[in-house]
Amino acid sequence: VLKYMSWGQMEKVWKKDTLKEEMIQGQAFAPFREPVPRLDFYPTYKKKPDRRYDFDDDPLQIANDQSLQSSNAGADRRRRLQDVYRTKFKVPFYKGGTVQDRLPSFTDRVLYYSLPTTKGQLTPESDIGIMNTQARVYKDCDNYGCIAHHLKGSDHSAVYCGFTLQCPLLAQCPPHEFDEKFTNADIYMFTIGLFTAILKKKKKIN
């Protein structure tokens, strides 16, 4: 996993994601969907709390820049990844006490679901970056990613996703309450009259 991440091959990392496999097979969150992640959506767990920095190198830049494909550059990225992720853990003594590998994983996700009658009204928005924390914008991706550098106190990274919600338009005047000749001016005068009556009643009570 660290090797794929260091070379910017995030599509290979996502192919090994167990949640996606379970959703495709209908074994978990069957009616839910997940937005298309940004290319720099790196695994969010398990990271070292209070780490000095985070890893968010641009996968496209790594793939297109020959200088970043050298063995030295790849080794440097793997070293930085080792500084960010906690890839070893010790099994409790009553289970053997051995030290085992821990794979970086996508434990923090955003899934969405709509009722059949409202399907299509809630959709992920295209990638636009977010509040200047993400300078890069990726084509054919949704505005769905993780936030690096800003929240380094946890062993997780925060995730975000932007959605577009289309609300159906409601009639201004419900037909069972207002006649067709009832204008907006009539409604306004009715509201003012009602408000005045309430104030007068309140004064009498006081």
DSSP conformation letters of 118-163: GTTSEEEPBP--STTT-----TT-BSEEEE-SS--SSSS-EEEE-E
Tell me which H or E stretch contains 195.
helix 184-205
One-letter amino acid at 155 equals D
pLDDT bin (cut points 50, 70, 90) of residue 189 is low
> Across residues 186-193, what is the average pLDDT?
61
Q: What percent of the chain has pLDDT over 90?
A: 48
Q: Give per-residue pLDDT as tens, 154-165.
A: 999 999 999 999
Is the pLDDT score of 199 beyond 90?
Answer: no
- Taking the model in full, what pTM does it have? 0.75
pLDDT of residue 193: 67
Strands (E), the chain: 88-90, 99-101, 122-124, 144-147, 158-161, 163-165
pLDDT of residue 59: 92
Helix, strand or coil, per DSSP, at residue 1: coil
Is the pLDDT score of 104 beyond 60?
Answer: yes
Residues 5, 117: Cα–Cα separation, whole Å? 40
Q: Give per-residue pLDDT as tens, 20-70.
A: 999 999 999 989 999 999 999 999 999 999 899 999 999 999 988 877 778
At 204, list the tokens: 């009498």
pLDDT of residue 90: 84
Judging by beta carbons within 10 Å of its beta carbon (0-12, 13-18, 19+), is residue 73 exposed, middle or buried? middle
